[in-house]
Amino acid sequence: MELHKYKDAEALSEAVAGWIVDIIADTLQQHPRFTIALSGGSTPERLHKLLAAAPYKEQIDWSKLHIFWGDERAVPFQDSRNNAKMAYDTLLNFVPVPAAQIHIMRTDISPEQSAIEYEKILHQYFGETGPSFDLVLLGMGDDGHTLSLFPGTAVVHEEKVWTTSFFLKAQDMYRITLTRPIVNRAARIAFLTTGAKKAHALKEVLNGEYNPDLYPSQTIRPQAGELHWFVDDAAAAELA
């Protein structure tokens, strides 16, 4: 695991934008495409806006990108809580990724059906073994959740399917989410974590005892890929 620490969310977002530009260029020298899973939440918004503008935008071959999501809130696309909408509003409306290469988790069908469809799409891209995504971007909630792997939910222990859905009582909504089996096969996973409210969970996730039911982010451990934590000083405040 590599920990990257920055003074604030702005410095972190700029560093991650530069890092992403570099790994896309490196990957495209050896492979014809770059597959990336975006995260929801508010932390990536600034990163998206940076990538969508100079000087980063021009340094990325957007025609080779294939876009996925780590998880989705089962609300209509027009709803401001929809993760795909956030990514379009901050990034995808401004960059020339071919529409057929953007794979949203649909919310105009039942969550169960949406997860099944997503699983099929993923199987068109990735084999049963070996690397999956070139990059998975993740956020961590104040409670240590990531993706829609919330503390105390069964999905934290999923070992078979790559995408699933379930009703999240605490938020009174269905969620659709990638699971550990496919995420942990990514070539690179990067958590973006900022703000004092996350300091306690960050300490527990990185330095505490392994307790995935309490801190699901602990289950994100790439089998063969890289794990990066990009954090700001406020989030890192309780790290030794």
Report the residue from 65, 71, 85, 134 that binds ligand 6PG according to the rule CB under 6 A.
71
- The type of residue at 144 is G
Structural contact between residues 17 and 56, judged by C-beta atoms closer than 8 angstroms:
yes
**Widest distance between CA atoms in the chain:** 46
Residues 12-41, mask of contacts with ligand 6PG (x by CB under 6 A): ---------------------------xxx
Stretch binding ligand 6PG (CB under 6 A), from 14-22, 56-64, 70-78, 112-120: 70-78
By CB under 6 A, is residue 83 in contact with ligand 6PG?
A: yes
| Contacts (CB under 6 A) with ligand 6PG, residues 112-141 | 139-141
CA–CA gap between residue 84 and residue 102 (Å, rounded):
10
Report the residue from 46, 48, 66, 73 that binds ligand 6PG according to the rule CB under 6 A.
73
By CB under 6 A, is residue 144 in contact with ligand 6PG?
A: no
By CB under 6 A, is residue 43 in contact with ligand 6PG?
A: yes
Provide, rounded to whole angstroms, the least separation between the CB of residue 139 and ligand 6PG: 3
Sheet of 71-73: strands edge to edge? Answer: 71-73, 173-178, 163-168
What are the E-state strand segments in 47-148? 65-69, 71-73, 135-139
Provide, rounded to whole angstroms, the least separation between the CB of residue 81 and ligand 6PG: 8
How far CA 149 is from CA of 73, 79, 117, 130, 185, in Å, comes to 12, 22, 20, 23, 17
By CB under 6 A, is residue 151 in contact with ligand 6PG?
A: no
Provide, rounded to whole angstroms, the least separation between the CB of residue 141 and ligand 6PG: 4
CA–CA gap between residue 176 and residue 70 (Å, rounded):
9
Provide, rounded to whole angstroms, the least separation between the CB of residue 31 and ligand 6PG: 26
Provide, rounded to whole angstroms, the least separation between the CB of residue 4 and ligand 6PG: 17
Give whichever of 147 and 227 is closer to ligand 6PG, judged by the CB atom: 147
Could you tell me how many residues make up the chain?
A: 240
How far CA 89 is from CA of 28, 31, 77, 81, 172, in Å, comes to 26, 29, 11, 12, 25
Give the pairing of strands 163-168 and 173-178: antiparallel
Report the residue from 42, 110, 207, 211 that binds ligand 6PG according to the rule CB under 6 A.
42
Binding stretches for ligand 6PG (CB under 6 A): 39-43, 70-71, 73, 83, 139-141, 145-147
